[in-house]
Amino acid sequence: MPSPMTASPARHSAPVRGSAFYKFAKQLVSDKYLILMVLPAVAYFIIFHYLPMYGVLMAFKNFSPSRGIWNSPWVGLKWFEQFFDSIYAFRLIKNVLLLNLYNLLWSFPIPIVFALMLNEIRKNAFKRVVQTVSYMPHFISVVVIVGMAITFLSPNDGIVNTALEKLGFAKINFLSEPGWFRTIYIGTDVWASFGYNSILYLAALAGIDSQMYEAARIDGASRWKQLVHVTLPGIAPTIIILLLLQLGRMMSIGFEKIILLYTPSTYEVSDVISSYVYRIGLVGGDFSFAAAVDLMNATINFVLIVVFNWLSRRLTETSLW
């Protein structure tokens, strides 16, 4: 409500607009310290993310280094057409989405479950040991992880196949079988990262007000009930936000691991956009084509995240924006 001091007869003819702006300005003033706090980071984003944003235009141009992005000739959707001209275009997109989907199904819940279990451990020393050990595999480089996978899964003398044989099954040539690729890819991912990824949930768990547990226990809740009624709701926002962030990356995939793990006989499930583009070779600096592919990925990610964020806002109280 405008104060008597600032209200004037003229305002009554357009009250809504005037007061909205006035309200906004007032809030800016009252939030001035908060605005001060965010200023450095916002400046950073404007300078380092928005100023170079024009680079997105490269996807529509035939980039010529000596002319720069602005003066390079415009080619419209040429690169996108070229990409979809490939007989493999849809297969590549499908593979990325499926790999990320399976990843979501497995790699997402496991760190949560692990964190919850850790939370239940009472012997502190044991808990800390498990925590520390679990985050180590994250640091082993992909090259070594793949090397270990090859050794263990070897159809000649790998542990897994030796065991299969002893149990009376036929040996499996794991890495050359399309049916096994996703399992191996995601399995090694989970193995390497569940401990590291659980750290965030541990922090969230630590942030739950202990008084809530007190209250629950006084009400006679069992351990299980406490888990369901205090713990889970306590970390629910974290889970939902992380899920949304993950959904916004459905078209992104770590290409180094794919290159190391895949082979022509598994192309039908393992060949993704980034590995295909790598094989094209990008001779002579084919930046425009790469930019077009990136833009396409980004757009799909964008649509996904918008849709799911809207869903999340409807169904829960948490959302990215």
Partner 1 sequence: MNYARTTSGRLADAAIAIIMIFVIVICLYPLVFVFSMSISDPLAAAAQEVWLFPKGFSLNAYKLVLDNPDIWKSYANTLWYTVGGTALNVTMTILLAYPLSRRSFVLRHPITLMIVFTMLFNGGLIPTFILVNNIGLYNTRWALIILGAVGVWYVIIARTYFSTIPDSLVESAKLDGANDIRIFWSIVVPLSKPIIAVLVLFYAVGHWNSYFSALIYLPNKDLQPLQLYLVKVLVESTNLADSVLPGEEKSLALMQIKYSIIIVATLPILFVYPFLQKYFVKGVMIGAIKG
Partner 2 sequence: MKKTTATIVSVIMLITIMMTGCSKSGSSPSDANKDVQPGTTTPSASQAAVSSTPAEPEGPHNPMPIVTDESITLTVAAPDNPFAAASLAQNLPVWQEIEKATGIKIKWDVVPNSQFKTAMQTRLASGTNLPDIILTNFDLYKYAKDGLLLQLDDLIAKYGENAAKVFKDKPLLPALMKTPEGQTFSLSGTRDEEVAAGPYGWLLRKDWLDQLGLQEPVTVDDWYNMLKAFKEKDPNGNGKPDEIPMTNYNGVAQLYYWGNAWGLHLRTSDGFYPDANGKVQYEWLDPRAKEMVAFLNKLVKEGLLDIEFAVNQKDQITSKIIRSLSGAVLAWQESNTLWTNKLREAGQASAQWVMTMPPAGPNGYKGHIEKTWLGNGFAVINKDSKNAEAAFRWLDYVIYSQENALRMTLGVEGKTYEMKNGEPELTDFVTNNPDGLGSVEVIRSVGAWQLIPTTFKSEYVSKLKLTDDILKERAKLVQPYLVPVAEFAIPTEEEFDAVNRKLTDIVTYKDEMVAKFIFGNEPLDKWDEFTRQIKDIGIDDVLKIRQAQYDRLMSNK
Query: Of the candidates 274, 287, 291, 294, which one interacts with partner 2 according to CB under 8 A?
Result: 287
Q: 78: phi > 0 → left, psi -120 to 50 → alpha, else beta; which?
A: alpha
Residues with Cβ within 8 Å of 143's Cβ and at least 6 positions away in sequence, in order, are 260
Q: Which does 33 bind (CB under 5 to 8 A by kind): partner 2, partner 1, none?
A: partner 1
What would the x/- binding string for partner 1 be over residues 74 to 113, using CB under 8 A? Answer: ----------------------------------------
Q: Which residues pair with 61 in a beta bridge?
A: 74
Secondary structure letter of residue 321 according to DSSP = -
Among the listed residues 88, 113, 293, the one whose alpha carbon sits nearest the alpha carbon of residue 205 = 113
Strands (E), 27-119: none
Q: Which does 85 bind (CB under 5 to 8 A by kind): partner 1, partner 2, none?
A: partner 2
CA distance 319 to 321: 5
282 Rama sector, left if φ>0, alpha if ψ -120 to 50, beta otherwise: left
Nearer to partner 2, 242 or 272 (CB): 272
- In the three-class reduction of DSSP (H, G, I as helix; E, B as strand; rest coil), residue 222 is classed as coil
Binders in 79-98 for partner 2, by CB under 8 A: 82-83, 85-88
Binding partner 1 by CB under 8 A: which of 75, 98, 104, 130?
130
Instruction: List the single partner that 302 binds among partner 1, partner 2, none, CB under 5 to 8 Å by kind.
Output: partner 1
Backbone conformation region of residue 77, classed left if phi is above 0, alpha if psi is from -120 to 50, else beta: alpha
Residue in the structure block whose two tokens are 């739950």: 208
Q: Is 74 helix (H, G, I), strand (E, B) or coil?
A: strand
Site residues (CB under 8 A) for partner 2, limited to 175-234: 175-176
Stretch of residues binding partner 2 (CB under 8 A), selected from 25-33, 99-107, 118-126, 279-287: 279-287
User: Cβ closer to partner 2: 44 or 84?
Assistant: 84
Residue 12 beta carbon to partner 1: minimum distance, rounded to whole angstroms: 26
Which of the 8 DSSP states describes residue 87? T
280 binds, among partner 1, partner 2, none (CB under 5 to 8 A by kind): partner 2
One residue of 267, 269, 272, 294 binding partner 2 per CB under 8 A: 267
What character string, x for contact with partner 1 (CB under 8 A) and - otherwise, covers 202-241? Answer: xxxxxxxxxx-x--------xx----------x--xx--x
Contact partner, 88, from partner 1, partner 2, none, Cβ < 5-8 Å per class: partner 2
Contacts to partner 2 from residues 147-166, by CB under 8 A: 147, 150-151, 154-157
| Cβ count near 81 (within 10 Å) | 11
Q: Of the candidates 77, 101, 148, 228, which one interacts with partner 1 according to CB under 8 A?
A: 148
Taking the complex as a whole, the smallest distance from the CB of residue 99 to partner 1 amounts, in Å, to: 19
Distant-in-sequence, close-in-space partners of 230: CB < 8 Å, separation ≥ 6: 208, 212, 213, 216, 221
For the bound state, the minimum distance from the C-beta of residue 28 to partner 2, rounded and expressed in Å, comes to: 39
DSSP string, 150-188: HHHT-TTT-HHHHHHHHTTPPP--GGG-HHHHHHHHHHH
Can residue 144 be called a binding residue for partner 2 (CB under 8 A)? no
What is the C-alpha separation between 221 and 215, in angstroms, rounded?
A: 9
Site for partner 2, rule CB under 8 A: 63-68, 82-83, 85-88, 147, 150-151, 154-157, 173, 175-176, 263-265, 267-268, 271, 276, 279-285, 287
